Structures are given as C-alpha cells and as structure tokens.
Structure 1
Amino acid sequence: MEQNIGFAHYWAQGDAVSHSVAYLLLIMSIASWYYILSKAWAAWRIRRGSNALERFWQAPTLADATAAMQRLDSEQIYTPMAERAAEAADIGTRQQGTPSLNAATDPGELITRTLRREINRVSARLERGLTLLASVGSTAPFVGLFGTVWGIYHALVAVSASGTVQIDKVAGPVGEALIMTALGLLVAIPAVLAYNAFTRINRVVLAELDGFAHDLHAYLTTGERVGGVRR
C-alpha cells in the first residue's frame, strides 16, 4: 500500500528522543535567527552613521563635535569613546596635585587607558551572539544526524519485527528519518553565513574605532590630529 511519506508521518511515528531532537533544532534556529536579525539591524545602523567621524572632526569645538556625533551615532559606537576620553583628560587636569591614582598617572596614560577600555567595551558588544552562531553552525548538522540515525534505527527494528524485508517498507521510514539531517543543515547554514558576515563587519568597525582612538588621543594630548579616519 502507498505510504504518506513526510514530516507529519515521521512526527507521528517518532518517540520522545526524535521529538526532543526536533525541538532542540527549533530552539537553535530561533536563537540564531534572533541574533542574525538583531545584529543585521545594528550593523545597518552603524554603517548609516559612518560619517559621524568626519562630522566630529569638522566641528569647531570638542563639545560641538560630540553633539554632532551623538546625532549620527545611533548605535553609540563612537560617541561614548569621545565623551569618556574628554572626561579622562579633564580629570587628569583637575586632579593634578591631589592624592589619587588618577592624579599620579600621566594624563596621556589615563586617556590611553580610557580609550582601551572603550574599545574593549565595543568589541565585547559587537561579538555578543557570535559564539552562539558559531556553536549552532557547527553542532546543528550533528544534532540532525543524530535524529536521522535514531529514526533509521527504529525503522530497521520495525522491519525486523515484521519478519519481511521489502524496499517499500524500508524506503519510507528511512526517507522520513533523513528529514532530520535536512533540518540540521537548514539550521546550520544561515548561522555559518551570518557568523562569517558579522565577523568581517566587526573587523571593519573595530579598525575604524582604533583609528578614531588614535586620532582622539593625539588631539587630547597634543591638540593635533595626526592620522586620518580609517575606512
């Protein structure tokens, strides 16, 4: 008799283990797509405000530059660095002669420490979710393969119990079990592609941030801008 082969039939014939594998793949897919969409939106907003650096250096004063950058930097990538570095330079000037660690630190070193801390903050923010995408991309195919192996095992057990081996009796359950492998690949491929894309985007953003930190340090310590904005 003709069998209705498909995921619904496989689901009806599956046990707790196969259902758990399917739910796990579903959770992995939802989590990866959440980070894919949220990070894609953030990356688009960052690139849209990429001219914030040029606007910063075109402003007449540091306060005006920070205000101009604030309006364009919707993801708050560059603005906090400028604000914290300016505060560090002001603290280093005001606390000269007072008994504190900041006062005992060279103003240039204080600004450098602040800039480094802001770069680490942005780096940690940009890398958030990448570990999950990498984990999903590397493990989802094996999770789906486990579901396939488990389904084939039960199909062969059922065939063995029937006492007869017919190709139409084996092909249906085995084909249904292979659906789990396809689902694993369907979950893994977008996660891998997104991980590679976001890694490249983060590298470009961090290069721009590093160039801005270098220029900002030169401006706050010597009053001159010695470098260009990296693109």
Structure 2
Amino acid sequence: MLTTILTAGAPPANFDMLHALNQGGFISWTTAIILTGMLFFTFYILFTKWFEQQKIINQGRRVRQSFWGANSLREGAAKLEKNSAYRQIVDDGLKAQEQYKELTDPIEAHDWLHGSLARSENSINSDLGGGLAFLATVGATAPFIGLFGTVVGIFRALIKIGAEGQASIGTVAGPVGEALIMTALGLVVAVPAVLAFNYLQRRNKSIQEALNTFSNDVLGFLASDGRVRPAVASRKGAPAAKAPQATTTA
C-alpha cells in the first residue's frame, strides 16, 4: 500500500540494460564495448584453436596407423599431409641428418639431431600456444574492467544522492543498476575466457606429449639407420604388427 502511494504520481522507470548504459554515458558505453570485444575474441580464439588442435590430433591418429609401416622416413613422410605438424618434424629430422654430414666442427650426431628435432617441436608448440596469452589476460582483467564501471555507477549514485539530499529508489536505481550491469558483464566475459584457457591448455599439453613421443621415435630411427622404430599400431583390435626392419638409412 505504501509503495503504491509513493509511486502513484511517478512515471514508470526503465531499468533495462540499454537505458542503464545511456545513463552512464561515455564511460559506461566504452566499458561495455571493450568487454564485448574481449568476449568476441575469446570465442574466436576458442573455436579457431580447437579446430587447429583437432587437426593435429587427427594427424597423430593417422601417424600411429600407417607411418611406421613404411620402409623409410621419406616414404612415411609422403603419406602425411604436406603442412602437418608430424610432417614438419620428419622433414626437419631428415634435413638435420643431411646437414650433419656437412659439419666440420666435431659434434655427436645424436646431439645435433636431438637439437634440431627439439627446435622443430618448439616451433609447433609456439604456434599452438598462440592466443592463449590473450585468454589469460582477459580472464584476469575483465572483472576489474567491469569493476571500473561499477565504481563509476556507484559514484554517480552518490552524486545524485548528494544533489537531491535524499536516497530515494528513483534517485539511485539507475546508477546502481548500471553498476550491477558492469559487474555482471565483467564476469560474463572473464569466466568463458578462463574456462577456454584451461581447456585449450590441457589439449595442448596432450598434443605436445604426442609430438615429443613421435620426435623421440624419429630420433631413434635416424640414430639407428632404421633398425629402431615403434611397432605398427594395430587396427580393429588386431595385435600390433612388428614394423619391417630397414637395412638402409632414411
């Protein structure tokens, strides 16, 4: 009854997001645009990196099924996609083997090949990690950007209270609503960024372990002239077949 009497003569208030942002003016709109841009790029990085990771995961499955059944690394590399991460490691290993023959400074072949393959892995891992720093930055800073909008909204509410001399609902509803919207928007941006970062990071770690295992296998093949290689992966539940033993170098 009291609420009805107090609001009988007052015009209906608008508390939607657009009205609150308009009340906040330039600062609120700038904060909202920055947070919206962060959210857009968060989802863009999430989906593009996911497809990139899935492509390498699928390449790894094909490597386990067919690559080590070849008689040489060159023959196996011909079965891989031209721009695949696994093809890059094989090509870099073969190139390092050729370069070793041209070295005049004495160095162990194992050290030279291992260093070359490690550089190839690091290059791939660096590409996989692209964009993750942005996700981490968004996850860490978005709540504080939203908090900035919150502080501005509360400050505006206090100014209105001081100007009118009373803290009525009509006085503070707009600025406080604007402040709460900024807080919520900051959290809406930060939470997906943190989840995306952890999810992509975990998948990157799994891919890096697979690439490292493959790189070690390539190193063993090169260092043993093809006598050391992993067993060919089995298919449809059949026992793994022993890979053919090569008698010549890669």
Deviation at 1:116, TM superposition (A): 0.8
In 1, Cα distance between equivalents of 2:221 and 2:18: 66
Is the alpha carbon distance of 1:201 and 1:134 closer, same or farther for their aligned partners in structure 2, counting shifts above 3 Å?
A: same
| C-alpha contact 1:89 1:111 (8 A) present in aligned 2 | yes
Helix, strand or coil: the match of 2:228?
A: coil
Q: Which moved more, 1:114-123 or 1:169-178?
A: 169-178
Shift of 1:147: 0.4
Residues 53, 128 of structure 2: 8 Å contact kept: no
TM-score normalised to structure 2 length: 0.81
Which residue is 1:113 aligned to? 115
- 2:227 aligned partner: 224
Correspondence for 1:77: 85
Q: Which amino acid aligns with 2:88?
A: P
| Counterpart-to-counterpart distance in 1, 2:110 and 2:185 | 55
Q: TM-score, normalised by structure 1?
A: 0.87
Separation in structure 2 between the aligned mates of residue 202 and residue 155 of structure 1, nearest angstrom? 47
8 Å CA contact 2:24, 2:178 repeated in 1: no
2:203 aligned with 1:201, yes or no? yes
Name the larger-Rg structure: 2
SS of the residue corresponding to residue 189 of structure 1 reads: helix
Mark the CA change 1:3 to 1:228 in structure 2 (over 3 Å): closer, same or farther: farther
* 1:26 lines up with 2:36 in the alignment: yes
Which residue, 90, 94, 102 being the options, matches 2:98?
Answer: 90
Aligned to 2:73: 62
1:135 maps to amino acid:
T
Amino acid at match of 1:196: N
Per-residue Cα deviation, 1:160-193 (whole angstroms, up to 9, x for no partner): 2122321343234312321011111111111111
Q: Look up the equivalent residue of 2:23 and give its one-letter code.
A: Q
Q: Distance in 1 between matches of 2:125 and 2:112?
A: 20
Amino acid at match of 1:120: N
**How many aligned positions are there?**
221
For residues 133-159 of structure 1, the C-alpha deviation after alignment (integer angstroms, 9 at most, x for no partner) is 011011101110110111121122123
How far did 1:27 drift? 2.4
Give 1:92 shift. Answer: 1.9
Match of 1:162 in 2: 164
CA–CA distance in 2 between the matches of 1:108 and 1:206?
Answer: 21
Amino acid paired to 1:131: A
Letter in 1 for 2:15: I
How many angstroms does 1:58 deviate by?
1.5
Structure 1 alignment gaps of length 5 or more: none
Q: Does 2:20 align with 1:10?
A: yes
Distance between the aligned counterparts of 1:86 and 1:130, measured in 2?
Answer: 31
* Equivalent residues of 2:146, 2:185 under 8 A apart: yes
Hey, what's the Cα distance between the residues in 1 that align with 2:134 and 2:72?
Answer: 42
Ranges in structure 2 where 5+ consecutive residues have no aligned partner: 1-9, 234-250
Give the helix-richer structure, 1 or 2. Answer: 1
Matched, 1:36 2:38: no
1:90 maps to amino acid: E
Contact in 2 for aligned 1:208/1:229 (Cα 8 Å): no
8 Å CA contact 1:21, 1:147 repeated in 2: yes
Greater relative CO, 1 or 2 (CA 8 Å, sep 6+) = 2
